[in-house]
Structure 1
């Protein structure tokens, strides 16, 4: 596996808020394979700021605890608005293996694993707080 510094850095980084950010960090790492890059706790037992990275350095996710501040009021949880207005797509080498991990981790499957008409194989699920994630072997760069 190439060293993280040998990859171009991602310049679009999704940011999410969670009611229980410490639990979300644990779940995202164990279920989707992220690694803690930086985690800053707050004084209330939540997360002020966290950066989770993919092991190969090709992607990152930032997250924090839901807050009643200007940024927090701009962000709404999926269950607050009856669904999501965005989703995250992640290119993976083995969609079937990640699908099994997602099921084992308690993800709610939205679209079952399937071969896509445009190429690749993938599925879509909701994480423990309802954020929508899609995973697939289709790589739009290739």
Structure 2
């Protein structure tokens, strides 16, 4: 069976939109530990495309004001009652330390840090614009002894 996956670092990259994308980029780096890979913004502060990395993972984001065809398909959480239809899941090496850092930066904790029945620890939170995130030490790429 042929594979459609490209031979690259990560083949799935979540994309998000923010009303104040430049502020969101700074917050995501400070609170969650992302690093700027590339940021394309105009003189008015509209982010047309940005890439933030976390280990070998990446998210892409842009400003809501960027009226691209793609952006027209995305609703902000506050436009749909705070709901989300997807959530970036990020594997971290020290979940307790990450939780403390995110909470100190103002992340709104949705599910407290806890040990999971399937292994590892994890928590979920919302960023300042309401996007839902999950962070945990459970790594689905590593074989587990649980069935």
Q: TM-score, normalised by structure 1?
A: 0.90
Q: What are the superposed Cα offsets for residues 80-134 of structure 1, whole Å, 9 maximum, x if unpaired?
A: 0111111011111101001001111101100000000000001000011111100
**Aligned partners of 1:80 and 1:25: how far apart in 2?**
21
Report how far residue 72 of structure 1 moved: 1.9
**Aligned partners of 2:45 and 2:114: how far apart in 1?**
40
Q: TM-score, normalised by structure 2?
A: 0.87
Q: What are the superposed Cα offsets for residues 53-94 of structure 1, whole Å, 9 maximum, x if unpaired?
A: 12x3x1011001003342222000011011111101111110
- The one of 63, 66, 81 equivalent to 1:65 is 63
* Corresponding residue pairs, total: 133
Moved over 6 A (4+): none
**Aligned partners of 1:70 and 1:61: how far apart in 2?**
19
**Aligned partners of 1:72 and 1:62: how far apart in 2?**
12
1:97 alignment partner in structure 2: 97
Q: Which runs of 5+ in 1 are unaligned?
A: 1-7
Matches within 5 A, 1:81-120: 81-82=80-81, 83-120=83-120
**Aligned partners of 1:18 and 1:42: how far apart in 2?**
15
Matches within 5 A, 1:31-50: 31-50=31-50
**Aligned partners of 2:68 and 2:90: how far apart in 1?**
29
Superposed CA RMSD? 1.1
Q: Which has the higher helix share?
A: 1
